[in-house]
Amino acid sequence: MAEVGALLLKEAQPYLEILKVYAEDLRISINTTCSGLEAWQIIAFTFGFTLLAVWLYDFLLQEDSLTTRVKKSFFKFMRSLPFVKAKIEKEMKGTIDSLEKTFNRGLEDFPYYEGLPQKGYTEKEVMEELKRYKKLSHVNWSIGSCSGTVYSGEESLTRYVCLCGFTQGTLYTTTTVYGVLVHQEGAI
């Protein structure tokens, strides 16, 4: 094994000599270029060149095409300009205000609950609250029109729902079978 390594080294010797000559020429060229510079300047140039090289490497070797990345960079720069940024923020605020006004229409008298009450509601209080919310509008929750709702299937909750008239005499339940939502319908 050692003989093979020695043989390869002997074969590569002329190429190593050529590399040594080029390395020495490069060393002399760099020393000549940097001879008039102070140490902090050399460090600053090295740091700046390294940052530039990393940025170019990241910029050129991405999944998106070069034209797409140039466009993204241009528009990111444009959005960072103060007058453009102010215009975008103004438009976003107007859009958010418009959406809030649209979604909250008719809900001015309804409290917004951010947590559970300290003392639980009585059945009568729950029923009154459910009736107030039922007056807002009719939503066909059985076809998945209500986002974020939970149907527990607990008998007392089902009784509340039925008493309020949410189900119109039909009980809808949703179960998950092997990751697929299955809607079931049955008479109460």
Per-residue pLDDT tens for 31-84?
Answer: 888 888 888 998 999 999 999 999 888 877 888 888 888 898 899 999 999 999
Q: Please tell me the predicted confidence (pLDDT) of residue 47.
A: 96
Structural domain count of the chain: 2
For 86, the domain range is: 64-101
Given 77, 101, 125, the domain boundary residue is: 101
Query: 151: which DSSP letter?
Result: -
pLDDT band, very low/low/confident/very high, at 126 (cuts 50, 70, 90): confident
Segment of 84-88, 96-100, 126-130, 134-138 carrying the highest mean pLDDT = 84-88
Q: Which residue has the higher pLDDT, 3 or 144?
A: 3
Residue 150 lies in a domain: yes
Query: With 90 as the cut, is the pLDDT of residue 85 above it?
Result: yes
pLDDT band, very low/low/confident/very high, at 182 (cuts 50, 70, 90): very low
Q: Please tell me the predicted confidence (pLDDT) of residue 90.
A: 95
- 101-107 mean pLDDT: 73
Under 8 Å between Cβ of 173 and 153: yes
Residue 163 lies in a domain: yes
Under 8 Å between Cβ of 40 and 48: no
Q: Please tell me the predicted confidence (pLDDT) of residue 83.
A: 93
Q: Which residue has the higher pLDDT, 67 or 176?
A: 67
Residue 5 lies in a domain: no
Given 101, 125, 156, the domain boundary residue is: 101
Given 74, 101, 128, the domain boundary residue is: 101
Q: Which residues pair with 16 in a beta bridge?
A: none
Whether this prediction's pTM lies above 0.75 is answered by no
Q: Please tell me the predicted confidence (pLDDT) of residue 36.
A: 86
Residue 73 lies in a domain: yes
Residue 29 lies in a domain: no
Query: 138: which DSSP letter?
Result: -
Residue 162 lies in a domain: yes
Residue 50 lies in a domain: no
Residue 94 lies in a domain: yes
Query: With 80 as the cut, is the pLDDT of residue 156 above it?
Result: no
pLDDT band, very low/low/confident/very high, at 121 (cuts 50, 70, 90): confident
